[in-house]
Structure 1
Amino acid sequence: MSYRLESLVVRHTLRLPSPHGAAGQGAVAARQFDAALMSVGFKLSAELLARLSHLSEAAVVHTARRTLRTVSEMAGDHVRHNAYFIDFPANVPDTGEFWARCVAEALADDTARERVAEQLANGVLDLLGLPAYGRYQHTYEEMLAAQDELIASAGDRVTVLHLGQGLEEELTSLYLALAGSTTPLGEEDLRDLEILAGRCALGPQPESIPVRENRAVVNLARLTAGADLLLDTVVDVLRLACALSGGDVTLREPTRFRTFPRPVRRALLAGLDAVVAADPAKLADVHAYRERFKRLGERLHPHEHPGRPHAAEVFAVARGEKKARSLDSRLEELLDAYDVPGAVRLLSSAPGRLFRALDLLLRTAAGQEERDAVVAAAVRVAPKVSGRVLLSVREHFLNRERETGGSRIFVDRRGSGWAAPDVRPPVPAADRDRLVAALDAELRRRLPASGRVLLDPDVLDVALPLSGRAAAAGLGVLPRGSVSAADGEHLRFFVYWKEARRRTDYDLSALLLHPDYSTGSWLSYTALRAVGGVHSGDVTEAPDGASEFIGLSLDRVRATYIVPQVNIYSGEGFEEAEESFFGFMLRDGEQKGRPFEPRTVRMKSELRGAGRVALPLVFLRADDGRWRAKWLHMYLRGLSSANRVEENHISVSKVVRAVVEREYLTVRYLAGLMSGEATAVEVWDGGPVPDEPVTYVGLERPEGLHPDSRVVTLGNLRDLIPG
């Protein structure tokens, strides 16, 4: 367990909890540890290296083994990445030539000859029936022996590990950060919070837990520990019941409730009773989850607890025996009657809901007087709206500046995305501008006075993480809509998967698009070679894990957009497979090396979304010829089987266009709001860091910062979102 907790801290913070052990002469072992880390793209900070050097050699070796295991998993180097073509990227044949070779080998095979000859006579050939197709024809060790050593480059990734506090202090700090997050966490972070809450439920707590899913996870730990529950809506109790049943606290998926012990039933009923007694209007929240509340009532037996009459009302509403009109039903009635002033009065008591309806209200309003009333109400309640919602609405109106046309992009909680034409009438420019000015003013008011702020220029175009679900878990992963440089001569994608129970075939492909987003060409198992690129070969099963690669020489690619994608051809979905992840590497011209080299990995992200086609990011050629990446983190529904780039290129190009042309609020936007009398914002040029405490915002923490500095990096970028 201690390794798991230490690993959790390293993954989230890039800090190694202060190593313990006997004092000694560990300098040599520490330098060897540092060299081993550099082989996978990591490095010890000077402070951490000095700390290890004063420990015994045995303590350093113990720490090194655990840490190397963690960082190898972070970079994707904990598995064996074999390529179908042993010399990849060299000597990759043309597709037709390769298939013909597989057929010739099958006809020479006594066990396959008759079957293949019959298929050829009928004019239909099953590639999977060819003995040489889709299965590795060499071992991992043979592949390594055939590859040249990697030549070190100054452009290789170096991720610095810093010295942390003691393990308990680091765990507490991380718990407070995750539990108190102002934005929803991703699935992996939510699981990590559950682990941390189990240890920290009775210790220091954040001032507030604004995200409901986080609260459910914390309540689960508090219930187990016998502490008071944090409840203020009936849905909080429903989420807690889901957590107790091992279900989905986001309420995205239905949960089969377990049979609860009597003490747990009493606690849940007491929570419902207290919430409704304090505010009977909370009964209206039941409507959104009526069926789930009915099933929960069957497990809680409220009739056995006559002393909890308010809890019984919850289930009476769920069964339709008691009326409690929801806000949405009342709003729908008002809008059906085009009563915008009435809708504004209703929503003024629910500020967040009002803000989410602003566009609709402005479009429905009968005239300027009604639109003025909408804007005035928004300005009046803005101080009561969460910072995340304010920023979401600000980004929404940033993309409403186009009068007509364009596409809208939709992404649900599971990452499933689709694009549709934007047919909404425009919002009057004057009303939109007044709202934007009010939002900027309110956000500026909430930002803390930070003294001196240093900004890494590479972080300026990173999109604000308004939801943890807008990015996958992994190394070097940026939120959806972020833009980052892709500096290197050779770009290489990789996918790895390992099937859990049945044969699973994932196909890595790359779609190459023209400036107008029309299809130029693609790389896939059906097109192993294209101008500037090669595919490593199709692997069609992964009982022991499998990898596919695509390599591109960026100066030879003629496309404007490069869209890597992972298609599920058959078998298990991304959430069913034992393991699946995607990433990309960048190499300079003279670098060789294995198909997978961890220190050239710029990004590695888990594939765990819904849908059968994964779109992690798109690469864009700028006007100056340089390449940049824009992050997608999306999954298309696709087909139930046989997904191929040839079949989905039109839907993929529509989604890519919608995301590329959408404007996202970035760190650059917040930096503009920060500048003022109490905050001096400057872009850091990479030189010596100041001697005094500063607020540093960047992709990674530089060495030498004053210990009292506030540091915001990818691991805690959500801290920039005001409450």
Structure 2
Amino acid sequence: MVLRKRRRVLLPDAPAGDGRAAARQVDAVLMSAGFKLSGEALERLGGFADGIVIDLGAEILDVVRREVGDHVAHNAYFRDFPAGVPDTVEFWLDCVLDALGARTVEELMVGEAVNLLALPKYGRYQHDYTEMVAAHAAFLPSAGDRLTVLRLGGDARDEARELYFALAGSAVPLNEDDLVDLAFLAVHCAAGPQPAAIPVRENRAVVDRVRLAEGLPLLADTVTDVLRLACALSDGDVTLETPTRFHGLRRATRRGLLAALDAIVSAAPGKLGDVHAHREPWKRLGERLHPHEFPQWPYAQDVFAVARGDKRATSLAGRVEAAFAADDVPGALAVLSTAPGMLFRALDRLVRTAASADLVGGEGAMVDAVVAAVAEAAPRVSGRVLLGVREHLVNRPRALERRVFVNRKGGAHVRPEDRAPLPPEAVARLREILDDEVRGRLPIAGPVLVDPDILDVALPLSGKAAPSGFGVLPRGSESKVDAGLLRFFTYWRQAEEDTDYDLSALFFDAAWENGSWVSYTNLSDGGSVHSGDVTEAPEGASEFIDIDLAGTEAARIVPQVHIFNGEGFAEVAESFFGFMLREPAQEGLPFEPATVRMKSELRGGGRVALPLAFLRDADGSWRAKWLHLHLKGMPFANAVENSRVSTATLVRAVTDRAQTTVRTLLDLLPPDTVTVDDGTTPAVPVTYIGLERPDHLPEGSTAYTLDRLAALIPT
């Protein structure tokens, strides 16, 4: 876990020996996968006996190969890809003629069309992996290939505790895989020292599961916190996005949950109003907890009475809606001022409504009151919310035509921007309040040294804005693309039923028009080539697309993975997407791990995945825009040509938005405190912000790298 997340190698206490030659061999194999041991790690590894070195090297190699997708055999349908890919129609006709040798035309027909899936030669590998490898020339390494350094870690317990503190104390919600890792670490760390704060309630639920078992005080302080904990105890969804099937609970566990509920409601009866947001889960949980068996906790029984409708409790949100419905802006503001987070999330609506009231009254008193309330509440609002509202206010005056809505699973839809504009003066005053508050909370001290490649990386205001993987940046980030050849790849392995994923790419001009594509229905277009359609994956299957960035006429490239039929992204045994940057002269196999720049797990509930887009600027340079989005798609037969318009609309709306990036935070600092890293060693300790920690930092420096980016977000 530490190697995967921190790129640190943990070495055990083991008998000394002279394993230097074996360590160099391990390092050479790692380099072929695009990784390398640091000098310190290589020296320490070489101090063990040969057998230990080889065993440890195999473990390290297994982890990093999985990180970049090199743990599976990537076969291409067309053996010689990117050479030897035929014309699409000619290939289809060849498949039909091949099938006619054993079948009648009628057997191949579906209505008036030929069913490609019924053709024996179509969609199924005609050669094995060994034959494909033999058909390709050796890979020629290049100076531009990726080389990720693996550094020596410390004591395993210390590393685990540090990682636990980072995950549990994260200021942003974690993605699904990180929650699983936190649950594992909590078993070992939740009874010991804790982070100063665990602000994300989903994280609290994961930690509280262990604390409850250990008889320690719970971190829960709302009734919804207890519901999340109950979901964790049943191995369910602590985000409450999907229903949890509650397990039968031991009496001691039931007592712990009910006692926590009773203490929360007795201290603040108004928190009963939160029950309405999750009435059905509360009803199901009540069937497992049997609160009537515990008369000593009457306030806990009230929770379930509200869920059943036997007891009335007005939620804060209900009081706000009632005030807005009555055009009572002062009333809505008064209620929202008691809940700073809700006030900030309702700020746009509040300012619009207040501006309308001021127009009627002929003065600006109501907008002034809203601004004053925001200034008073700002110190009590989390940094993540402050930055999210700031990003919203930056985009509001930009006259964007569309609004983008993205849920926690990456599902997205677009609607026209039909809200009234906000008063420019109010927006300016609000932004100043937010900037001052964020500036005062930044965890950055002393001189700052920054890697220019991280400036346009978006701050992960939610960990769910990016899936797990290698080289994955948060949604909205931008990164330079500097290579002659861009190669997409996807891999999937079905679990139970035949499953067909289709890798495709859309091409647009700078105005997001004139869309063409490369997919199984169009194997080549303008120098871009598809590796061929694979229609089932019992042993795993791969598809590739090659794009000559210098030769393409497109200005916008959007790769996609479509589910044609079979299991969804969350149902298959394994699935991922990535891209490589390489030069045509390098030859080699379709998949070469040293050229992989990004590999991400495919997750989400939709049937079409949009991992990222590639944008060409006026000077001809290319950059990647990270999306991590999903379209709902159709239950069957999703195809790139059928989603051109919706894809262009969505991706354009995302790329038009201004994002909160590392640059945003650094712009809040005095300019003379920020220096761009040029590779020279600073004279004094610095705060370094970059993709990876360099070797030239003086002792005492603090580094914020990609794995610690969330730590830059003020608490």
Partners of 2:640 and 2:520 in 1: how far apart? 10
Residue of 401, 404, 407 corresponding to 1:406? 401
Partners of 1:328 and 1:63 in 2: how far apart? 56
**Map of 1:374 onto structure 2:** 370
* Contact 2:515–2:644 under 8 Å retained in 1: no
Residue of 509, 512, 525 corresponding to 1:517? 512
**Map of 2:502 onto structure 1:** 507
TM-score by length of 1: 0.96
**Map of 2:31 onto structure 1:** 38
* Contact 1:494–1:584 under 8 Å retained in 2: yes
1:389 aligns with 2:385: yes
**Map of 1:697 onto structure 2:** 689
1:715 aligns with 2:711: no
* Contact 1:586–1:600 under 8 Å retained in 2: yes
Quote the offset at 1:266 in angstroms.
Answer: 0.5
**Map of 2:361 onto structure 1:** none
Partners of 1:545 and 1:649 in 2: how far apart? 28
Q: SS where residue 254 of structure 1 aligns?
A: coil
Quote the offset at 1:402 in angstroms.
Answer: 2.0
In structure 2, do the counterparts of structure 1 residues 352 and 121 end up closer, same or farther at CA, with 3 Å as the change threshold?
A: closer
Quote the offset at 1:24 in angstroms.
Answer: 1.8
**Map of 2:415 onto structure 1:** 420
1:183 aligns with 2:172: yes
**For residue 256 of structure 2, what is the amino acid of its counterpart?**
A
**Map of 1:442 onto structure 2:** 437
Partners of 1:449 and 1:538 in 2: how far apart? 50
Q: Cα deviation per residue 1:140-167 (whole Å; 9 max; x = unaligned)?
A: 0100000111111111011111111111
Quote the offset at 1:121 in angstroms.
Answer: 11
Residue of 69, 74, 79 corresponding to 2:72? 79
1:665 aligns with 2:660: yes
**Map of 1:4 onto structure 2:** none
**Map of 1:458 onto structure 2:** 453
In structure 2, do the counterparts of structure 1 residues 364 and 98 end up closer, same or farther at CA, with 3 Å as the change threshold?
A: same
Quote the offset at 1:56 in angstroms.
Answer: 2.3
Residue of 74, 90, 95 corresponding to 2:88? 95
Partners of 1:186 and 1:14 in 2: how far apart? 19
Partners of 1:100 and 1:258 in 2: how far apart? 56
**For residue 392 of structure 1, what is the amino acid of its counterpart?**
G
1:351 aligns with 2:347: no
Quote the offset at 1:707 in angstroms.
Answer: 4.7
* Contact 1:45–1:703 under 8 Å retained in 2: no
Partners of 2:389 and 2:525 in 1: how far apart? 43
1:638 aligns with 2:646: no
Q: Cα deviation per residue 1:452-511 (whole Å; 9 max; x = unaligned)?
A: 221110000000100000011100000000000111000000000000110000000000
Residue of 524, 544, 552 corresponding to 2:547? 552
* Contact 2:379–2:437 under 8 Å retained in 1: yes
* Contact 1:519–1:649 under 8 Å retained in 2: no
1:275 aligns with 2:264: yes
1:69 aligns with 2:65: no
Partners of 1:139 and 1:433 in 2: how far apart? 63
Q: Cα deviation per residue 1:385-422 (whole Å; 9 max; x = unaligned)?
A: 0000000000001110224x511111001110111111
Partners of 2:43 and 2:664 in 1: how far apart? 39
- Uncovered stretches (5+) of structure 2, i.e. residues with no partner: 359-363
**Map of 1:48 onto structure 2:** 41
Identity in percent: 58
Q: SS where residue 35 of structure 1 aligns?
A: helix
Quote the offset at 1:374 in angstroms.
Answer: 0.7
* Contact 2:11–2:45 under 8 Å retained in 1: no
Quote the offset at 1:138 in angstroms.
Answer: 0.2
RMSD: 1.3
Q: SS where residue 81 of structure 1 aligns?
A: coil
Quote the offset at 1:695 in angstroms.
Answer: 1.6
TM-score by length of 2: 0.97
**For residue 225 of structure 2, what is the amino acid of its counterpart?**
D
**Map of 1:147 onto structure 2:** 136
Alignment of 1:489-500 (within 5 A): 489-500=484-495
Quote the offset at 1:556 in angstroms.
Answer: 1.1
Partners of 2:171 and 2:280 in 1: how far apart? 29
* Contact 1:447–1:674 under 8 Å retained in 2: no
Partners of 2:547 and 2:459 in 1: how far apart? 30
Q: Cα deviation per residue 1:152-190 (whole Å; 9 max; x = unaligned)?
A: 111101111111111111001000110000000011101
Quote the offset at 1:120 in angstroms.
Answer: 5.8
Partners of 1:440 and 1:122 in 2: how far apart? 63
* Contact 1:347–1:353 under 8 Å retained in 2: yes
1:260 aligns with 2:253: no
Partners of 1:160 and 1:711 in 2: how far apart? 16
1:327 aligns with 2:320: no
Q: SS where residue 139 of structure 2 aligns?
A: coil
> How many residue pairs were aligned?
708
**Map of 1:5 onto structure 2:** none
Partners of 1:591 and 1:397 in 2: how far apart? 47
